[in-house]
Structure 1
Amino acid sequence: MSASEAKVLSIGPLPENEAAWIKLSKVTYRDPNGQTRTWESAERRTRPTTSDVDGVGIVALLHTPAGPEIILQKQYRPPIDRISIEVPAGLIDAGETAEQAAVRELREETGYVGVVTETSPIMFNDPGFCNTNLRMIHVSIDPSLPENQNPQPQLEENEFIEVFTAPLATLWDECKKLEAEGYAIDARVGTLAEGVEFAKTLKL
């Protein structure tokens, strides 16, 4: 069975006692004019007490003679009932740093082994909706190393991920092409592609 055959079968309310990953909250706050208001919010239940973020996104660059290629993945996502184009990513385990989580998740999801070169500030995915956050970790991959000759993902039973690469220089065009083919573009991929395009257009 391929990812294209996955589909949502039903949607219904999620009882509080069945929610393993998220919780909904009603936030009461004071606005800048001193008026009391409420806000509906979601948050993850999984953030380790030792961590300031929920997870990591990984900008993994494969250095080839033709130029850097970014490691991407195709993964079916039930909330949107589509296959999404994403960077490797994952939640932080207890006792891990963001950098350690990135190296582990990259190897588990793609098979590649890399070296961390940069860590972003904390980023909030959708602050008008939830408090979920992450750090983007930049990882450099040397394809000449023996461990990267034939990378084998170590996926969990419920993970269905197809790994592929795209030239970083033309990532914007690749996103447009993939969207036209019916794929959903994750905001982290799209924003990175847009940044590359801005840099080229403005000659930064």
Structure 2
Amino acid sequence: MAEDHLIEHRVQREALLCGHFLHVLRDTVQLPNQNLATREFVVHPGAVMVIPMLDTPEGLRLVMERQFRYPVGQVMTEFPAGKLDPGEDPWRCAQRELLEETGYKARMWARAGVLHPVIAYSTEVIEIWFAKDLIGGERQLDADEFLDVFTATPTELMAACQQGQLTDAKTLTGLLWLQNVQSGLWPLRWQVAF
């Protein structure tokens, strides 16, 4: 499908902020009708999200986190996730984040896909990983990292979504993936971690 009639071309770039983690840019772009416009956006290093599946005698439970998110000023329920370090392989990042934040290692991993959580103003891309055959251990939180880990059933999480208690975009996308994986519509290719 031809898309040339939709493409904007950068004419000029201005760095508004070069932070430790994020950068903010303002580009002047030429629109398809030749007019000029500005686009302000955040450059993000990329991240991973893990959907940890814990088999229990009662059935499937998912390992979740609750942590305070300063920009929205509230404690949020989320799947474990974290940003990529420079040059870091996303699968290694997923393994690292799962262990650091929850204490779990997983024997089996499957890459599901990617999501772009805020396409209007950020370059952020999050890789979605599933993890199963979990082995519990000690968390390795950073000194200034505070979060609670808990488990929930898919039904409990879907109810929290429906009631507006779970609103994190990446976690909502993860639950969509989980529904389709469980139904057999979106098969995964599992690989052994160790």
How would you bin the TM-score normalised by the shorter chain?
A: 0.7 to 0.9
Query: Which secondary structure state, in structure 2, belongs to the residue aligned with residue 41 of structure 1?
Result: strand
Matching of residue 193 in structure 1 with residue 185 in structure 2: no
Q: Deviations over 1:18-76 (max 9, x none)?
A: x32222111222223232211111113xx3xxxxxx11011111112322211110000
The 1:88–1:137 alpha-carbon spacing in structure 2 relative to 1, beyond 3 Å, is same
Higher strand share goes to which structure? 2
Counting matched residue pairs gives 170
Separation in structure 2 between the aligned mates of residue 100 and residue 56 of structure 1, nearest angstrom: 10
Structure 1 equivalent of residue 48 of structure 2: 56
Unaligned runs of 5+ in 2: 1-15, 186-194
Match of 1:167 among 153, 156, 159: 153
Structure 2 equivalent of residue 9 of structure 1: none
Runs (4 or more) in structure 1 with deviation over 4 Å come to 194-200
TM-score normalized with structure 1 length: 0.72
Matches within 5 A, 1:141-156: 141-142=133-134, 147-148=135-136, 151-156=137-142
Matches within 5 A, 1:114-129: 114-129=106-121
Separation in structure 1 between the aligned mates of residue 96 and residue 84 of structure 2, nearest angstrom: 10
Structure 2 equivalent of residue 91 of structure 1: 83
Identity of paired residues, percent? 25
Unaligned runs of 5+ in 1: 1-14, 48-53
Pairwise CA distance, 1:90 = 0.9
Structure 1 equivalent of residue 69 of structure 2: 77
TM-score normalized with structure 2 length: 0.75
Q: CA RMSD in A?
A: 2.7
